[in-house]
A = this chain, B = another copy of it.
Amino acid sequence: MTIERIRAASERLARHARVTPLLSSPFLDEIADRRVLIKAECLQHTGSFKYRGARAALSALDTQTLSRGVIAFSSGNHAQGVARAAQELAAPAVIVMPSDAPALKIANTRALGAEVVLYDRATEDRNAIGAELAATRGLTLVKPFDDPEVIAGQGTCGLEIAEQARARGITEAEVLVCCGGGGLSAGIALALEAEAPGLRLRTVEPEGFDDVARSLAAGEITPHGRPEAGLCDAVLTPAPGTLTFPVLARLAGPGLAVSDTDVLHAMALAFQRLKVVAEPGGAVALAAALFSPEVEADTVIVTISGGNVEASVFARALETL
């Protein structure tokens, strides 16, 4: 992984991905007792940063490969990112989802032009289904995070953070990033290393699902070992990737973890003070900035990595106000 790959992705994404704003509120600064700047990736197309990586990966394919189509396993933000990028590039997209995925997510992915293939989690192997589809139809697999072009696409968010920090005269800060498999974190870390070396990245995960924090502490990939179910569904990946972890081990840490209670409160404060919608997994970094005693810097930049949340979960968050 090199900064050149991120810069190339940035050129391909220009005028397609949104340059998301860096928001702030004096009320949040007061709660955190430091300056907090919020990179609102929930305002990205499809409501999460995943569009960046998907568009970067698809636009890196040659015309013939692209025209055969792409395939992804996801019932969440990655699915929507891939579907939208494929639609924009007129490429067929197959999204493999469990048959018990929420109806709205299935409908949204189809509405973005993708073909949704459902499988039974209890009796079927999604990898086998995907491999069969890929082989017979010549589809290219788009991984959710452990792919150089996907990481490069997420890294374009880091280029924007570096530029937006520079415009505000910020040369030193902790950059807290919502972290699942580490694609966004690794991409941003590489961008900051090149463009804003005084900005230090720290990953943020939900308590109990802090595989990246544990891996950083242990110096090797250490799965959290829990079933993938919890409030912060977008970031419950079992372990960092083989491409993302070495980047994070070199450039990031120590990792932070936050409670579901703090996550819900952070979502409510993003509603009240920033007027943006954060999903639980997208609010972990803001929760750390506001409530974690382990954050130290005078200036903290956090990602709100996505906003795709069910209304009922959001209503629960609002009750914390």
**Which residues in A have some Cβ–Cβ distance to B below 8 Å?**
18, 20-21, 23, 26-27, 30, 40, 42-43, 47, 84, 108, 111-112, 268, 271-277, 307, 311, 314-315, 318-319, 321
Contacts of A272 in B (CB 8 A): 311
In the complex, residue of chain B having the shortest beta-carbon distance to the beta carbon of A18: B21
Verify B111–A268 contact, CB threshold 8 A.
no
Verify A26–B311 contact, CB threshold 8 A.
no
7 inter-chain pairs at a CB distance below 8 angstroms, sorted by A residue, are A21-B43, A23-B43, A26-B84, A43-B275, A47-B273, A277-B277, A314-B318
Verify B311–A271 contact, CB threshold 8 A.
yes
A16 to chain B, nearest CB (A): 13
Name A271's contact: one of B20, B30, B108, B277 (CB within 8 Å). Answer: B277
A42 to B43, CA, bound (A): 13
Name A47's contact: one of B43, B275, B277 (CB within 8 Å). Answer: B275
Contacts of A27 in B (CB 8 A): 108, 111
With A23-B43, A111-B26 as contacts: A275 and B307 at CB distance below 8 Å: yes
Contacts of A111 in B (CB 8 A): 26-27, 30
Contacts of A311 in B (CB 8 A): 268, 271-272, 318-319, 321
